[in-house]
Amino acid sequence: MPTHSEILNATPIAADAVVAQARSMFDQGYRLVTMSVVDLGDGNVDIFYHYDLNNEMTHFRLTHPKDKPVPSISPVYFAALLVENESRDHFNLQFDGLVLDFNRTLYLDEEITSTISAPFCKISTIQKKD
């Protein structure tokens, strides 16, 4: 029974199965609702893939090292390009195979090239050069 609010029950998924799973969901007519990223604080992130079919959601959880590239699902779901680029900006994640890679400038100005870690996942100040 679809519900508007649910305790998250996400199926664990491995990194090398993410794209094949996305392809399977796409072929079954699922809509990609979005992805959510949570920094676990131990060098890993949880990446949730939220799919919807007729108002019923299905979730997958990928626990992944922050410093290793994540397979991009944007070749399957074009809509993923924004959220994957946003995750680059927010968490400094790398995505392999992004169809349109903003290279960490979806939100940041192209002139800002000096920040190594993601600026939006913590409270910090960035000095923009003149």
Partner 1 sequence: MSRTIIPFGPQHPVLPEPLHLKLVVEDETIVEAIPALGYVHRGLETLASIRDYNQMVYIVERVCGICSCIHAMCYCQGLETMMNVEVPSRAKYLRVIWSELHRIHSHLLWLGLFADGFGFESLFMQFWKIRERVMDINEATAGNRVVISVNVVGGVRRDLDKTQQRWILDELDKLEKELRQLMKTMLDDYTVKKRTVGVGVLTAEQAIQLGAVGPTLRGSGVAQDARQLGYAAFDELDFEPVTSPEGDSWARSKVRFMETLQSMDIVRQAISRLPDTELAAKVPGKPTGEVVCRVEQPRGELLYYLKGNGSKNMERVRIRTPTFANIPPLLAMLPGAQLADVPIAALTIDPCISCTER
- Binding to partner 1 by residue 31, rule CB under 8 A? yes
Asked whether position 126 contacts partner 1 by CB under 8 A, the answer is no
Closer to partner 1 at the Cβ: 16 or 109?
109
Q: What dihedral do alpha carbons 110, 107, 121, 63 form, nearest 10°?
A: -100
Q: CA-CA distances (angstroms) from residue 27 to 30, 32, 72, 77, 123?
A: 8, 12, 17, 11, 41
Helix (H, G, I), strand (E, B) or coil at 22: helix
Q: Which is nearer to partner 1, 59 or 97 (CB)?
A: 59
Find out whether 21 and 13 touch, Cβ atoms under 8 Å.
Answer: yes
Residue 91 sits in the site that holds partner 1 (CB under 8 A): no
In the complex, least distance from residue 118 CB atom to partner 1, rounded to whole angstroms: 11
Residue 79 sits in the site that holds partner 1 (CB under 8 A): yes
Q: Is 83 in the site for partner 1 (CB under 8 A)?
A: yes
Long-range residue pairs from 119-125, CB within 8 A, at least 24 positions apart, any chain: 119/89, 120/89, 120/90, 121/39, 121/90, 121/91, 121/92
- Rule CB under 8 A: which residues touch partner 1? 2-8, 26, 29, 31-34, 36-39, 48, 50, 54-55, 57, 59, 77-79, 81-83, 90, 100, 105-109, 120-123
